[in-house]
Amino acid sequence: MRNIISVATLFCSSLLIGQNSILVPPENVTAAFAKKYPNKKAVWDMQYSGKNDDVIFMAKFNNTPKTIALALYDQNGNFKSYKYQIQIQNLPLKSQQYLKENYGIKAIRKSFTVLDNENITTYECAVVKDQKNYNLVFDKDGIFIKRIQII
């Protein structure tokens, strides 16, 4: 019985060790990131955009020692968007009012300013309501655009 438990434990732990792999995006993506954000070290993630099986590479790095920034690139190394973490107080007043009225301050997890490849600024807030996670999107003036449920 001890041998069976030992073998099962060893097998499960070897599967867990394999889960800690590091993603290295294509060279054109890393070169585009290094050109735009020199001297920044990124942790990379990958997601599917849902359009023609396109892949989006996300570089997560520290903008300042206490704030997170995300840069998104397509598989060809084209810049898609840049997100940086901000304090709730730095959101436009209309979005702050919307959040207070519909979610409450305790529901807000993170807030970001988003600059896309066309230099259009929007704001995103990660919130929790009824034990579900959502991203709320606001335009540059703080007017609510849409809510996206995060799985």
The answer to whether residues 60 and 106 touch, using CB atoms and an 8 Å cutoff, is no
Handedness of CA 98, 104, 107, 111 (dihedral sign): positive
What residue spans define the domains of the chain? 23-150
The answer to whether residues 126 and 135 touch, using CB atoms and an 8 Å cutoff, is yes
Average per-residue pLDDT for the chain: 85
Name the pLDDT band for 63 (thresholds 50, 70, 90).
Answer: confident
CA gap 68, 59 in Å, rounded = 10
Choice among 42-46, 47-51, 59-63, 100-104 with the minimum mean pLDDT: 47-51
Choice among 45-59, 97-111, 136-150 with the minimum mean pLDDT: 45-59
Name the pLDDT band for 150 (thresholds 50, 70, 90).
Answer: confident
Name the pLDDT band for 7 (thresholds 50, 70, 90).
Answer: very low
Rg (Cα) of the chain, in Å, rounded? 19
Predicted TM-score of the model (pTM) = 0.76
Choice among 14-28, 53-67, 98-112 with the minimum mean pLDDT: 14-28
- What's the helix, strand, coil split of the chain in %, to 5? 30, 40, 30
Q: What is the DSSP string of 6-17?
A: HHHHHHHHHHHH
Task: Tell me the pLDDT tens digit for each residue of 92-118.
Answer: 999 999 999 999 888 999 999 999 999
3-state SS, residue 135: strand
Burial class (CB in 10 A: 0-12, 13-18, 19+), 44: middle
What CATH code would you report for 23-150? 3.10.450.360
